[in-house]
Chains A and B, each alone.
Chain A
Amino acid sequence: MKVIDLVEEFDLKVFSGKNGLDREVGQGYVSDLLSDVLGNAQEDSVWITLQTHQNIVAVASLKDLAAIVLVNGLEPDNDSVEHSNREGIPILGTKLGTFEMAGMLYGSIKK
């Protein structure tokens, strides 16, 4: 399963990082604590978070994550968008809350 498949299946908004939409997704992780993600997220994960500042892109890049999904209709900060385009790590968005989004992604990725 690729990032683009998730975008299409769940009608996610693509804010940035279009270069990375063909990336394979293997796992998911949910957290708003950056050190938790640095410590515990698996590579190739989709990361669901409420954080919108540009350090999320640095964390995703260092951990080789596949994409970031912002929930509750949140939008990324401008420098997050720039950083995401540079790194080719997509920032996606949904109006859904964390619980619903995580449940749907889990169902799809673990299929």
Chain B
Amino acid sequence: MNLEYTFKVEGGNFSKAGVASSDVKKVLKKLNVGPKTIRRIVVSLYEAEINIIAHAYRGEILVKISENKVETTLKDSGPGIEDINKAMEEGYSTASPEVREMGFGAGMGLSNMNKNTDKLEITSEVGVGTTVKLMNWI
């Protein structure tokens, strides 16, 4: 089994947030993946999606589902992350006041992604963009 899905993400457009995670959830449910594993996968995907919307200009999500794992790559064009270690700290955020008002930008997103993935890789170039890879065994 090898399933692939791609999604486009528009920076700043919170009204479309969660489309990718919601679709992936439906697919994983049909594949009879356990509910706890599904929640981990979709929470990390949603957080990563929100990060693109909150910080970048645009991005693309590629989800690959195979027999025993889900691998997701989120690549954005955006400001990039200057200090990834700092960004990983719980409570650290560079989100705008508008984003915080919506209840995002509390500095918990990356640590949620870390907790809910079996492997997390972040690479970033300032002024160019960020690529996040999420991997979960299923």
Q: Which residues of A contact B (CB under 8 A)?
A: 32-36, 38-39, 43, 49, 51, 53-55, 58-59, 61-64, 79
B104 in complex: contacting residue of A34, A61, A63, A79, CB < 8 Å: A34
Q: Is B124 an interface residue (CB 8 A)?
A: no
Interface range on chain B (Cβ under 8 Å from partner):
20 to 34
Give the distance in Å from the alpha carbon of A100 to the alpha carbon of B79 in the complex: 43
Are A33 and B103 in contact, CB atoms less than 8 angstroms apart?
yes
Q: Is the interface of B mostly helix, strand, loop or mixed?
A: helix
B-side residues, CB < 8 A to A, are 14-15, 17-18, 21-22, 25, 35, 39, 42-43, 46-47, 50, 102-104, 106, 108-109, 111-112, 115
CA distance A61 to B29 in the complex (A): 13
In whole angstroms, how far apart are the Cα atoms of A64 and B42 in the complex? Answer: 11
Choose among A34, A39, A55, A61 the residue that contacts B115 (Cβ–Cβ < 8 A). Answer: A39
Q: Could you name 16 residue pairs across A and B whose Cβ atoms are closer than 8 Å?
A: A33-B108, A34-B103, A34-B104, A35-B103, A35-B108, A35-B109, A35-B112, A43-B35, A43-B39, A49-B103, A53-B14, A53-B102, A55-B102, A58-B17, A58-B21, A62-B46
Residues in A with CB closer than 8 Å to B104 are 33-35, 55
Known contacts being A39-B108, A62-B21, is A34 close to B102, with CB within 8 Å? yes
Q: How far is the CA of A34 from the CA of B25 in the complex (A)?
A: 18
Q: How far is the CA of A16 from the CA of B112 in the complex (A)?
A: 29
Chain A hits for B42, CB < 8 A: 62
Residue of B nearest to A53 (CB): B102
- Residue on A with the closest CB to B35? A64
- Shortest CB–CB separation between residue A41 and chain B, in angstroms? 10
Cβ–Cβ contact A55 & B108, under 8 A: no
Q: Which residue on A lies nearest to B102, using beta carbons?
A: A53
Smallest CB separation, B99 vs chain A (Å):
10
